[in-house]
Structure 1
Amino acid sequence: MKSFLWGICIFLSTITIAQAQITQDATRLLRVHEDDDFFNFWGRGTDRAYTNGTCFGYVYMKKKKSSFIDKWIFPTAGPNSINVFEWDGMQLMFTPDDLSDRKFIPGDFYYSAAVVATHGLTSYNPVKKYRIHSELVFGIMGPWALGEQAQTFVHNLLGDQPPRGWANQLPNAPLLNYNISYERMLWHPRPSLEVIGGFSASAGTMIDAVSTWGYARFGLINPYFGDPDLHTATRRKFQLYLMARPQFSITAYNALLQGGLFRSSDADFEEHRKLQTSHMNPFIIGMDYGFVIGIGRTTISYTQQTSSPWMSTTRKHSFGNITLLIPISKATHFP
């Protein structure tokens, strides 16, 4: 079964890769997003570390001005910005390398899972060529996130090794985060090439971190930041391009790697913490790469995301992302 799934992933990778370009003429979209460390360009899939993330989302534009939370905590990119809102629900899972061991493994990742909802805004300025993305993330981690049940179900379905160590997972805790990022055009020598720079900051009970990156894409592309003229913004009905994104991050705290808000009051966690020989690496370098296909207002994409080790005694890690954007509205432009 894994050989069959690997074949599907390689097929998808020959036609796509993920990123977040504006869809200026599609006012409502469904988004399906799947991270998995078994997805791999080179056929070297694993089942460890950040092992899975499944997300379903609704992306939309609206005519009315924002109010309440949307108005006060989601900044826009100027008075004539193109504003794209979203709601997402996602489950994330982390596991150690050896799923067969029922005991706590001191030199590896904790078993941990989270279920979160995200509400956010991506605001584009097509004239000055920049964008601001801001989001509020809220949810839970621990046994209430049903990571054990989800992974066991999938492994039984595929005939894979059942995970036996979920009794050692990180305890329940609430998650609340505010994340913001900024990107700006750095170099645009021709219509087929764009080089963009960006940085982000995250704060809350889920993750506290800052990141910076460069992002280059080359091929048959529409403008990344859109255009005041809708015809120019959507001139290509077929897009196909390569992308690369080197990045660097500094993380002060990650609940899914270190335990959540009430971790010190959990006796099992305290016992495991005393035995733990691995710690979170605060400095991470990584590279995302792949390619994208867009047909009309539909996009399917695959990204290979690689990074240096997240935990001190573990290896570098790689996982793939498949994202599908499906329009569910007529082509409409909101100025």
Structure 2
Amino acid sequence: MPLRLRALAPLALALCAACSTSRDPDLDLDGPLEMVSIAMDNDTFTGSDNNYTNGIVVGWRGGEHRAYTEDSRYRRWIEFWSFLPAMDDTTCDTYAAWSVGHELYSPDDITVAVPDADDQPYAAVFFVDSTLLARSDRVTHSWNLRLGLVGPSALGEELQSGVHQLIDVEDPAGWDTQIPDEPVVNVDYAVAYELLHAGRQGAIEARFVPLAGAGVGTYFTGAAGAMYGEVGWNLPDSVSLVSLRRGVDPALELVSPRGGWSVSLFAGGGGFAVANYLPLDGNAFRSGPSVKSEPFVAFASVGVALRYDRWRLGYRQTLFTDTFQTQREAVDYGTLSLSYSY
């Protein structure tokens, strides 16, 4: 029997259980403590419909773990991982986050039942991410565990066909050739360093942040290096992380946003050294469609963020160099994100 999405239900429930928290009434908390967010990638924002065609992630990020009672599951979860580098640093504030996501990949020509063997395979990936963050004044460390599945059980055909029918466009014909069912397991580490922060609070400010990361597992094995700059009015503290399909975006705000309006422009770029990338290189433990990943992929991202009180609305566009050796068109897409802190 193929893997089913319901097979991950116990995992998702277990992860979400850690979000059931108790706040310590004796603590004087300044501003919002937690954050919910949703982000959607789609290539129709840029007028294309090829390769990486859609992604959606819904997440929850808790507050600094010492703001919770000692017996809360959230705090105990973070303290359990204190053996990881930076997670036991008493000079850092530590947080945990969970997210559920889905990604769709399709070839350039979705009208043929058997796509070219040298084009992007059809693929759907469903995943649950469990993330730990440790932040000091200038440095943020991130550890992420991704569990999920790739294949027909991720329901990519049903999702893409339904959306295409809804918007009255060509129905994809080649999903019978998609990457087969297989579990996804990946561990990732990233670090961001705020090298420069200039300006006056409540006025124009700017920051410059280099980043680096690495991953190992069935989803992505490789390393990354990137940097971004952001300039705007009334900037809150934030940090960006890097992933092969998201570029960079300073959207993960770990502290209380400043009151009133805030607006900023940002731009970033970097590259990935790629040993294996599941949506291109295919299954790790069984045969299936695949193409050869490029060993190095560069990207550039530009965007804007608008904040008001506890809300943040962001949009960015990301452009990649060729991600596989027989690629026909460049991969570019837009990302729309919305978050609320409370």
Fold conserved (TM > 0.5)?
yes
Q: Residues 25 and 132 (structure 1 numbering): CA distance in 2 closer, same or farther, change over 3 Å?
A: farther
Which residue of 1 is the match for residue 265 of structure 2? 242
What letter matches 2:44 in structure 1?
A: F
Report the Cα offset of residue 33 of structure 1.
Answer: 1.1
Contact between 1:30 and 1:57, CA under 8 Å: does it hold in 2?
yes
User: Do residues 139 (structure 1) and 153 (structure 2) align?
Assistant: no
Contact between 2:33 and 2:256, CA under 8 Å: does it hold in 1?
no
Q: For residues 215 and 311 of structure 1, what CA distance do their matches in structure 2 show?
A: 25
Q: For residues 185 and 80 of structure 2, what CA distance do their matches in structure 1 show?
A: 15
CA root-mean-square deviation: 2.0
Q: Give 1:179-328 correspondences, 5 Å limit.
A: 179-191=188-200, 192-220=205-233, 221-224=235-238, 234-264=257-287, 269=288, 272=289, 278-314=291-327, 315-327=329-341
Contact between 1:138 and 1:176, CA under 8 Å: does it hold in 2?
yes
Q: Residues 257 and 238 (structure 1 numbering): CA distance in 2 closer, same or farther, change over 3 Å?
A: same
Report the Cα offset of residue 74 of structure 1.
Answer: 7.4
- State, as a whole percentage, how many aligned pairs show the same letter: 22
Spell out, residue by residue over 1:241-286, the C-alpha distance to the aligned partner (whole angstroms, 9 max, x if none). 100111111010011111122223xxxx2xx56xxxx521120111
Moved more, 216-225 or 305-314: 216-225
Which residue of 1 is the match for residue 242 of structure 2? none
Moved more, 184-193 or 93-102: 184-193
Report the Cα offset of residue 47 of structure 1.
Answer: 1.0
Q: Give 1:75-224 correspondences, 5 Å limit.
A: 75-76=86-87, 78-126=89-137, 129-191=138-200, 192-220=205-233, 221-224=235-238
Q: For residues 149 and 204 of structure 1, what CA distance do their matches in structure 2 show?
A: 27
Q: TM-score, normalised by structure 2?
A: 0.78
Q: Residues 86 and 287 (structure 1 numbering): CA distance in 2 closer, same or farther, change over 3 Å?
A: same
Moved more, 153-162 or 308-317: 308-317
Report the Cα offset of residue 28 of structure 1.
Answer: 2.1
Q: Residues 25 and 257 (structure 1 numbering): CA distance in 2 closer, same or farther, change over 3 Å?
A: farther
Contact between 1:174 and 1:260, CA under 8 Å: does it hold in 2?
no
Q: Residues 109 and 76 (structure 1 numbering): CA distance in 2 closer, same or farther, change over 3 Å?
A: same
Moved more, 88-97 or 117-126: 117-126
Q: TM-score, normalised by structure 1?
A: 0.79
Report the Cα offset of residue 105 of structure 1.
Answer: 1.3
> For this pair of structures, how many residues does the alignment match?
283
Which residue of 2 is the match for residue 36 of structure 1? 42
Q: Residues 74 and 98 (structure 1 numbering): CA distance in 2 closer, same or farther, change over 3 Å?
A: farther
Q: Please state whether the residue corresponding to 1:152 is helix, strand or coil.
A: helix
Q: Larger relative CO (CA 8 A, sep 6+): 1 or 2?
A: 1
**Consecutive unaligned residues in structure 2, runs of 5 or more:** 1-29, 240-254
**Consecutive unaligned residues in structure 1, runs of 5 or more:** 1-23, 226-231, 330-335
Contact between 1:132 and 1:181, CA under 8 Å: does it hold in 2?
yes
Q: Please state whether the residue corresponding to 1:164 is helix, strand or coil.
A: coil
Q: Residues 48 and 77 (structure 1 numbering): CA distance in 2 closer, same or farther, change over 3 Å?
A: farther
Contact between 1:77 and 1:131, CA under 8 Å: does it hold in 2?
no
Which residue of 2 is the match for residue 4 of structure 1? none
Q: Please state whether the residue corresponding to 1:30 is helix, strand or coil.
A: strand
Q: Please state whether the residue corresponding to 2:164 is helix, strand or coil.
A: helix
Report the Cα offset of residue 51 of structure 1.
Answer: 0.5
Q: Residues 100 and 112 (structure 1 numbering): CA distance in 2 closer, same or farther, change over 3 Å?
A: same
